[in-house]
Structure 1
Amino acid sequence: MSKALERDLIVGLDIGTSMVKAVVGEILPDGDISIVGVGEHKSRGMEKGGVNDLNLVVQSVRSAMEQMELMADCHVSSVFMSISGRHVQCQNETGMVPINNQEVTQDDVDNVIHAARSVPMPAERKLLHVLAQEFNIDVQEGIKNPIGMSGVRMTASAHIITCADDMAKNMVKCIENCDLIVDKTIFSALASSYAVLTEDEKELGVCVADIGGGTVDIVMYTDGAIRHTAVIPLGGNQITGDIAKIFRTPMNNAEQIKVNYACALKDMVSMEETIEVPSVGGRPSRGMSRHTLAEVIEPRYHEVLEIAYEQIKASGLEDQIAAGLVITGGTAKMEGAVEFAEEVFQMPVRVGKPHSVKGLAEYVDDPSYATAVGLLQYGKQDSNNKKASPKSDDDSMLKRIQSWFKGEF
């Protein structure tokens, strides 16, 4: 088998509440990503984005990784991993430093971002991301890239995403028990936004709602920068549970019924259309109106969308997302989801699928692969940043430390 390092491969691992999805991509000479392997397995041991049975999660991850490696004919040793759950929190902070030598350098940018992130944080919290929003130099505001500009003092605003340290450690432990290394842990909705959004949408203002099995992950952009992130502990599994209880069918069958026949809006379903519903305990299957199924699903889907809408209104950015809403994740595929979301949010809505990838792109042309493909995009950018600013050079490190002290004190 070929080795990942020889082919410049990168792996995204999305451990969701319903499914584990692993995608391996090769970074081509032109910088594009070519999908070379995909693996998925039913997720067991996860609930609302958190681990509740470590051994079951390990088995699910191994199965997905083995399938992916077999397709790609490779063996990988590290992954970029997603994380979600209601423990994920965000805050916006600012930092200020004097500009050394009257011209902004990369060191100055690093220093001001460090100042922005230097806020007291409880010991039980883990820092996931510090995302620059914009820079101000003296009286000039709203600067995207300050390097090379002249000034005396620079301030920066940054969006900080944190998670519960114990929750992150449990996820990492699952990966390590599969003999893998975690390159980086990335918030799920952030990864999804890398895969499904265009630059125009980010500039105009857009909200991504990644509707998974156990959570709805939200990320909001305005003026090209992230302003708000949130996680809602509701998702498609609640719909599956309603189907199982009301129609008295096993959970596995309820999930299949949801995937194959569910519609978010009952008005879109004919009264005459019928489906077969398996029974429990060996009883014979029953015929059921698909319209009745939609009547069961609509209130729950409405609840999910309403809570997401309340989160958007609470952010204070509702009037700034002119590009509307992009829904992604497995539950976004349901028939009528776009029409229902447009009705609830009163804004344009589209389903987000991964784009800008080559190779086996048809395997990931699905909203449920948004996070996994986004992890590849994030990993490629992270790799480029490391190449652009190597940290192994002793002289460079000394210079950065000296510059940090000058900027901080």
Structure 2
Amino acid sequence: MSNNMIVALDIGTTKVCALVVESDQNGKLNVLGIGTSKSGGMSRGVVANIDRTVKSIQEAVQIAESKPGTKIKSAIVGIAGEHIDSFKTNSIITISNAEHEITESDIDRLIEDAKRVHLSRDREIIHIIPQEFIIDGQTVTHDPIGMAGVRVEASMHVVTGLITAAQNIHKCVERAGLKVQELVLQPLASSYSVLTEDEKEVGVALLDIGGGTTDLAVFEDRTIRHTAVIPIAGDHITTDIRKGLGILPEQAEELKVNHGYAMVSEVVDDEPILIPGIGGRKPIEINKKLLAQIIQPRVEELLDIVAMEIKRSGYSRHLSAGIVLTGGGALLKGMPELVEYVLGVPAKIGIPQTFDGGFAREVENPIYATVVGLVQYGLKRGAGKSTIEFAERSQVSDEETGKASPKNGKDEKNSSPQKHDPFGIGKGVQFLKKFINKNIDNV
């Protein structure tokens, strides 16, 4: 594998994807190969069967190596799952020489200080991301490197995960014959491929709806502010269809992908759909609105949890750029409209468009947001080398500093759609009732 080649591996619940990208002499990024295989050993973002996961990785890598001379030896690998957690912590260092200019080494000291935070024995740190800096009591509105100061403080966004979950990913990749260059949080990776710097500046939430989990990342001032992994995603919708209609899983998936709508009111052509019968039985006939009536409640449940997570982040009133949807679930017809209806903010589908030549057109699809983002992450960070990124501006939200925003009551749904305020207490109570009454672990 040449020095200017970078490989990413997205090991998801429904698919495994390997992407090979090379930078030419002019700095253009060419897609040399892309391989996708059905994921057989993952459950809700974590390894459930090592042998099946290894086989899926090998199949995806073999397809990605189809171009002569391409041999994958290592990859940047995504990580997600219900075990992922994040929190904010503060770091402080002192500098004895008042004329000393702050360097990357000083920032590394701040990061090392953040690593001293107490974690349970079964967890490890995946990322520590600097957010704001205070130098001698003054908030810095850009990166602090080159400035003078004797007391440097920083707020850090810390992402942690289960040690065993990370170990199992390492084990699967290594048994497939590859080396893990770095584990990267999947929603962080996806943000590199579908979010613009302007969107991250004014405030945006990325919602990556996969098969087993939905990943959320909130940005403002070009800095990640909150991350969460939600255990409801596309597979739950498929299961609802399967159980609701009494059909096979593959039939339910086909219905969802080809005929499904996230919102009943978005169904225009309510034509009948014929489903082959099982074991010689008569075919089942349904219409698209009935299918949408099965799908919409599950998507609304997901969005209720998203609303709670965004409120918990303290940035619910800071999403000027709204929501950017990606992942396979973003392709469900009517999804942006339902997101706007439930969350009350603009929504659009994010499509990665970052490469030239080769198989570039093939990756211009929301389902490849994570694997493309992993490549972009690796390129920006020197393919695994430790570098530091800073926001150009820094500002803490009113909610995060303890200044409470006005709390609104629950909005009642009317027959005609209207935008809601999902970030008030009423919506939280609605979600909690729904969460208690539904055993999402057994769907």
TM-score by length of 2: 0.83
1:84 CA drift (Å):
0.8
What one-letter code is carried by the residue in structure 2 that aligns with 1:369?
Y
Contact 2:182 2:384 in 1 (8 A): no
Q: Which runs of 5+ in 2 are unaligned?
A: 389-443
In 1, the alpha carbon distance for the partners of 2:260 and 2:132 equals 43
Any idea what SS the aligned residue of 2:227 has? Answer: strand
Aligned twin of 2:114: 116
Any idea what SS the aligned residue of 1:383 has? Answer: coil
In 2, the alpha carbon distance for the partners of 1:386 and 1:56 equals 31
Find the partner of 2:206 among 205, 208, 213: 208
Any idea what SS the aligned residue of 2:232 has? Answer: coil
1:234 CA drift (Å):
0.7
1:285 CA drift (Å):
3.0
Contact 1:38 1:71 in 2 (8 A): no
Any idea what SS the aligned residue of 2:262 has? Answer: coil
In 2, the alpha carbon distance for the partners of 1:38 and 1:217 equals 23
In 2, the alpha carbon distance for the partners of 1:48 and 1:143 equals 39
Is the helix fraction higher in 1 or 2?
A: 1
Contact 1:99 1:151 in 2 (8 A): yes
Any idea what SS the aligned residue of 1:237 has? Answer: helix
1:83 CA drift (Å):
0.9
What one-letter code is carried by the residue in structure 1 that aligns with 2:7?
V
In 1, the alpha carbon distance for the partners of 2:383 and 2:138 equals 29
- Are residues 1:34 and 2:57 paired? no
Aligned twin of 1:9: 5
Range that drifts further, 353-362 or 300-309: 353-362
Aligned twin of 1:139: 137
Contact 2:181 2:384 in 1 (8 A): no
Q: Cα–Cα, structure 1 residues 40 and 199, in superposed 2: closer, same or farther, change >3 Å?
A: same
Aligned pair count reads 385
Q: Cα–Cα, structure 1 residues 168 and 387, in superposed 2: closer, same or farther, change >3 Å?
A: closer
What one-letter code is carried by the residue in structure 1 that aligns with 2:365?
D
Aligned twin of 1:96: 92
Range that drifts further, 286-295 or 364-373: 286-295
What one-letter code is carried by the residue in structure 2 that aligns with 1:278?
P
1:47 CA drift (Å):
0.9
1:31 CA drift (Å):
4.2
Contact 1:250 1:279 in 2 (8 A): no
In 2, the alpha carbon distance for the partners of 1:144 and 1:384 equals 25
In 1, the alpha carbon distance for the partners of 2:37 and 2:65 equals 13
1:42 CA drift (Å):
1.2
What one-letter code is carried by the residue in structure 1 that aligns with 2:175?
N
- Are residues 1:313 and 2:281 paired? no
In 1, the alpha carbon distance for the partners of 2:76 and 2:347 equals 29
Contact 1:92 1:158 in 2 (8 A): yes
1:270 CA drift (Å):
3.7
Aligned twin of 1:198: 196
Aligned twin of 1:331: 329
- Are residues 1:24 and 2:20 paired? yes
1:278 CA drift (Å):
2.5
Any idea what SS the aligned residue of 1:319 has? Answer: coil
1:69 CA drift (Å):
0.8
- Are residues 1:276 and 2:267 paired? no
- Are residues 1:59 and 2:55 paired? yes
Range that drifts further, 69-78 or 252-261: 69-78
Find the partner of 1:50 among 26, 46, 49: 46
Q: Cα–Cα, structure 1 residues 83 and 384, in superposed 2: closer, same or farther, change >3 Å?
A: closer
In 2, the alpha carbon distance for the partners of 1:60 and 1:282 equals 33
- 1:5-404 equivalent positions in 2, closer than 5 A: 5=2, 8-71=4-67, 73-99=69-95, 101=97, 102=99, 103-270=101-268, 272-359=270-357, 360-383=359-382, 386=385
1:204-255 superposed Cα distances (whole Å, 9 cap, x missing partner): 1111111111111111111111111111111010110111122222111211
Any idea what SS the aligned residue of 2:324 has? Answer: strand
1:73-131 superposed Cα distances (whole Å, 9 cap, x missing partner): 51110011111111000011111112354321222121122223321222211211111
Range that drifts further, 184-193 or 120-129: 120-129
Any idea what SS the aligned residue of 1:121 has? Answer: coil
Any idea what SS the aligned residue of 1:74 has? Answer: coil
Contact 1:36 1:72 in 2 (8 A): no
Q: Cα–Cα, structure 1 residues 100 and 380, in superposed 2: closer, same or farther, change >3 Å?
A: farther
Contact 2:76 2:181 in 1 (8 A): yes
Q: Which runs of 5+ in 1 are unaligned?
A: 390-409
In 1, the alpha carbon distance for the partners of 2:255 and 2:73 equals 37
Contact 1:136 1:143 in 2 (8 A): no
Any idea what SS the aligned residue of 1:62 has? Answer: helix
Contact 1:273 1:289 in 2 (8 A): yes
Q: Cα–Cα, structure 1 residues 209 and 49, in superposed 2: closer, same or farther, change >3 Å?
A: same
Range that drifts further, 117-126 or 201-210: 117-126
In 2, the alpha carbon distance for the partners of 1:29 and 1:138 equals 44
- Runs of 4+, deviation exceeding 4 Å: none
Q: Cα–Cα, structure 1 residues 335 and 242, in superposed 2: closer, same or farther, change >3 Å?
A: same
Contact 1:105 1:148 in 2 (8 A): yes
1:341-400 superposed Cα distances (whole Å, 9 cap, x missing partner): 0001101111111122222221011111000000001111221783979xxxxxxxxxxx
Contact 2:194 2:352 in 1 (8 A): yes
Any idea what SS the aligned residue of 2:382 has? Answer: helix
In 2, the alpha carbon distance for the partners of 1:239 and 1:251 equals 11
